[in-house]
Amino acid sequence: MPAKDDGSDKEKCLDLFLKIGLDERTAKNTVANNKVTANLTSVIDEAGATDGCSRTVGNFLYTVATKYPANALPHRPTLLQYIVSLKVKTTAQLDAALSFLATTGSENLDLDRFEEACGVGVEVSEEDIKQAVSEVVEENKATILELRYRTNVGELLGHVRKRLPWGDAKVAKQLVDAKLYELLGDRTAADDEKPSRKKKEKPAKVEDKAAPVSTPEKSPEEDVNPFLIFPNPEENFKVHTEVPFSDGSILRCCNTRDLLDKHLKATGGKVLTRFPPEPNGYLHIGHAKAMFIDFGLAKDRDGGCYLRYDDYNPEAEQTEYIDHIEEIVQWMGWKPFKITYTSDYFQELYELAVELIKKGHAYVDHQTPDEIKEYREKKLNSPWRDRPISESLKLFEDMKNGSIEEGKATLRMKQDMQSDNYNMYDLIAYRIKFTPHPHAGDKWCIYPSYDYAHCIVDSLENITHSLCTLEFETRRASYYWLLHALGIYQPYVWEYSRLNVSNTVMSKRKLNRLVTEKWVDGWDDPRLMTLAGLRRRGMTPTAINAFVRGIGITRSDGTLISVERLEYHVREELNKTAPRAMVVLHPLKVVITNLEANSAIEVDAKKWPDAQADDASAFYKIPFSNVVYIEHSDFRMQDSKDYYGLAPGKSVILRYAFPIKCTEVILADDNETILEIRAEYDPSKKTKPKGVLHWVAQPSPGVDPLKVEVRLFERLFLSENPAELDNWLGDLNPNSKVIIPDAYGVSSIQNAKVGDNFQFERLGYFVVDRDSTSEKLVFNRTVTLKGSYSKGGK
């Protein structure tokens, strides 16, 4: 039998996706993701668009394929007909439709309410939008005239959307831009200045090697509150999900009105979420996304977010990790509503397990792990599955009392061994472990599993929105089955895509290997994407949160986000907050021959590009003496037209000081190694060379400048996605950390403290490392001055 031609199938899918108007890159990325490919192919078929459609309709079909709520699949064909018939034709309408269907689930669809909720039949002409734009601009005219082109266009568009929620956002943006031009005229130089700065500093031409960063323009959709997709707590009586059983029956999981009323009475109707890390490792940037969603939703709705340690496994938890998690959550800017532990509920969990047995939904099993695996693969029931309830109750009590050996019995949920969902194959609820618990002590020798404990604790804590990553989506059936079986409150569950960042690994197992096998220097190594590592590297929580918000809360899995996107947000912040200073990494001595050895000229250097002359705090003093140091790379023996550094007979400007001209080069005995440069300075500053160099001077004759250590960090891995490689450790970048032990810095940084950020001119952004001592400062490079992230980049 010939092998299946996967290549041919992918080509057909690619042709189909291009036919509906997807751009080539999106189409190719989609074909590379089997799940999205299958979803999109089904959506195109349901929409009757296999022969192609307009680009707008095609993009909407792609959105449906990646964002459609799983609990409302019966209504997907209906939405698709509204899209292809152009009854749903704007992004705002589609977002509203998806939100409405998510709350409706598989219940009967009220088309009148649906059409009203997403503006079907509401025609908004360009003239209507123009009128709304004129009104908004007129109402905000005073502010616009004051701020000119620094006016927040997103806020103006928000006001327009309030008037015309179904208007075309792109048309509104174009009309707002046109109206601003009509009111303000051409942009001036002042309009391009930063809000808190008056003048943008020009980068030295000598550094102009990397491609320029183009600032991504914010689309109107990006201004939308990302948490609008989530329903309110009082809506949580609708079907969450459907659990099909092998006998043909379907469990439609939802709260009764009585359960929901009790929940709302207990919470006061407030939103309650939870951030539930396992205390078995350090948090990484993926957890930053989880925190943003969990804490962010609670903050947006004036609710609360639990910090809950999922400490159901006594063998993995460590106090070090617990302390780290609490500290890093606060560093990220989040304040827990309450700090709890799964182990706080061990008694309630045990009592509910007894109740589950009494209801005939759990049994004590004696199969070994290998036998359980084999039986699951063959979809066979355990020999002990149908033992009497009284027998399981007695055995479970024996388990609790320590009367049964470890590994000789488990408590399993009686679910559906013939299901198509592997996570319904009688999951384990309790195991025997004769291990003291770090938080609960030695009271227990049986411990609940994640699948048993997580959903019940969500219910006990009255969580309104249980949010997790997409790999848990197949566990939703088990989640709701258990809560339904126990007859207790059911939170609203929603899954989002994991945050996958390029050139790194984020699985705890791989991170643990990197740390324990000494490939890196601990959990806070600045090359790691742990939050402790990012902090030590000098990245700020506000920049990390801005990065996460920019990515959005999506269900599109498999997308690899370039680390340069994170670095872009870090540069944006540090450019505004990090004072400037000068450091020379590889010093080359320059002797100024027309300046006396015992004299020095004090010059003012700017901490900020827009420093005002009358603001003394915006400057720092540096001496210009007859011995200065420049970068070795800023000198060449042979000059060229495209070179702006120093060369024999050539002049450059020493930043904030004077022009100098190279008059002589002192070489070593090998006639190649440059030992020293001789130069003359122009005290009149009449010389106007193009090159501008950073430098550091001797503070007094024979005294070296401030000596500092500088650590330059690059990507930890050479490949974009090392996690996919069999030999992923072989992909480690041997040049990911370069230590420069004897750099020279200006004296203004000598009192810097651990965590202080600086921009070292022409070199990048740096932070003071914890390895610094009173004798020597150590600086970590956070990011370079330039990156290649641009609009449309991932």
Question: Residue 707 and residue 742: Cα distance in Å, rounded?
Answer: 6
* Catalytic (active site) residue 377: no
194: amino acid identity, one letter: K
Which stretches of 93-206 are assigned E, i.e. beta strand? none
Catalytic residue among 498, 510, 606, 607: 498
DSSP string, 654-715: ETTS-EEEEEEEEE-TTSSSEEEEEEEE-TT-----S-EE--EE-SBTTB--EEEEEEEE--
CB 481, CB 260: distance < 8 Å: no
C-alpha distances in Å from residue 423, one per residue of 62, 383, 446, 495: 29, 20, 22, 16
* Catalytic (active site) residue 715: no
Question: Residue 572 and residue 602: Cα distance in Å, rounded?
Answer: 32
CB 34, CB 6: distance < 8 Å: no
Catalytic residue among 107, 193, 235, 278: 278
Question: Residue 162 and residue 155: Cα distance in Å, rounded?
Answer: 11
DSSP string, 592-637: ETTS-TT-EEEEEEESSTT--TT-GGGEEEEEEESEEEEEGGGB-S
**3-state class percentages of the chain: helix first, strand second, coil last, to nearest 5:** 40, 20, 40
The closest alpha carbon to 254, from 442, 6, 16, 71, belongs to: 71
Question: Residue 42 and residue 63: Cα distance in Å, rounded?
Answer: 13
* Catalytic (active site) residue 655: no
The closest alpha carbon to 754, from 737, 719, 778, belongs to: 778
Residues paired with residue 709 on neighbouring β-strands, in sequence order: 778
Q: How many helices (H) and strands (E) does the chain have?
A: 23, 29
Residues 6+ apart with CB under 8 A from 676: 588, 589, 590, 591, 665, 666
C-alpha distances in Å from residue 196, one per residue of 191, 192, 540, 572, 617: 12, 12, 19, 13, 16
Catalytic residue among 148, 508, 606, 737: 508
Active site residues: 278, 498, 508
